[in-house]
Amino acid sequence: MEHEQHPRWRDMSPTRRAVMVLGALIQFALAGAAWADLARRPSSQVRGPKWRWGLIIAVNFVGPLSYFRWGRIPTAEDSGPETG
C-alpha cells in the first residue's frame, strides 16, 4: 500500500488555492461568530458547560455549526421580531 502525499501549496492550481483560502475564511468566521456568541451568552442559555462548547467550536466546520444548532437555548432575541 503506497502512502499518498498531500499536494504542496506551490503545486496547487490557482483555483484550488482560492478554494482552500475561501474554506479557511469561512471556517474562521464561523468559529469567531460562535465563540463571540458563547462569550456573550449567559451560562443559563447554553446547553452544557460553556468550556466544553468552547472546545467543540474549534473542531472544523462541525463545531460551530453544532453550537448554533444544539448548543444554544433560544431566547426571544434569537427568534427575531415578532410579526402579527
Percent of the chain with pLDDT over 70: 89
CA distance 80 to 47: 20
Q: Which residue has the cell 463571540?
A: 36
Which of 7-21, 40-54, 65-79 has the largest mean confidence?
A: 40-54
Q: What's at 45, amino acid-wise?
A: Q
What is residue 6's predicted lDDT score, i.e. its pLDDT?
83
Domain boundaries, the chain: 30-74
What is residue 84's predicted lDDT score, i.e. its pLDDT?
47
Name 53's Cβ contacts closer than 8 Å, sequence gap at least 6: 38, 46, 67, 71
Backbone torsions φ then ψ of 46, nearest 5 degrees: -125, 135
What is residue 32's predicted lDDT score, i.e. its pLDDT?
97
> In the predicted model, is pLDDT for residue 78 greater than 70?
no
